[in-house]
Amino acid sequence: MVVKQGDIIKVEGIGVKLLVVSQNLINENEVCIVVPLSSKFRESATHIRNSFSKELLITEQLRYLDLTARFYKHLGTLSVNEMVNVVDVVQGLFDYY
């Protein structure tokens, strides 16, 4: 099963849930860019609430994962509106001013 942008997954060996933020074209090769969900952080400009869980999306902690090397489980999917917000924040991390 190929993950899609907006999927929330649990990966073997990683203690937190992860949100897939990379585009589906990248995900076809079973590699993806993810951000963790965590309850150990306070809300800030880069920590986003979501409708899936009470945990915050920690967008500044981007990770690149090869899912061919690990087992993972699909837990749910964020709405399109929430994903637009998350992608905007992630993109803002790389804006040059």
Q: 4-54 pLDDT, tens per residue?
A: 999 999 999 999 999 999 999 999 998 999 999 988 877 777 888 887 788
Q: Which residues contact 84 (CB under 8 A, 6 or more apart)?
A: none
User: To which residue do tokens 């993109």 refer?
Assistant: 91
- 88 pLDDT tier (thresholds 50, 70, 90): very high
In terms of C-beta density within 10 A (0-12 exposed, 13-18 middle, 19 or more buried), how is residue 47 classed?
Answer: middle
Domain boundaries, the chain: 7-92
For domain 7-92, the question of CATH label 2.30.110.10 is answered with no
Residue 81 Ramachandran class (φ > 0 left, ψ -120 to 50 alpha, else beta)? alpha
Given a contact cutoff of 8 angstroms between Cβ atoms, the answer to whether 90 and 31 are in contact is no
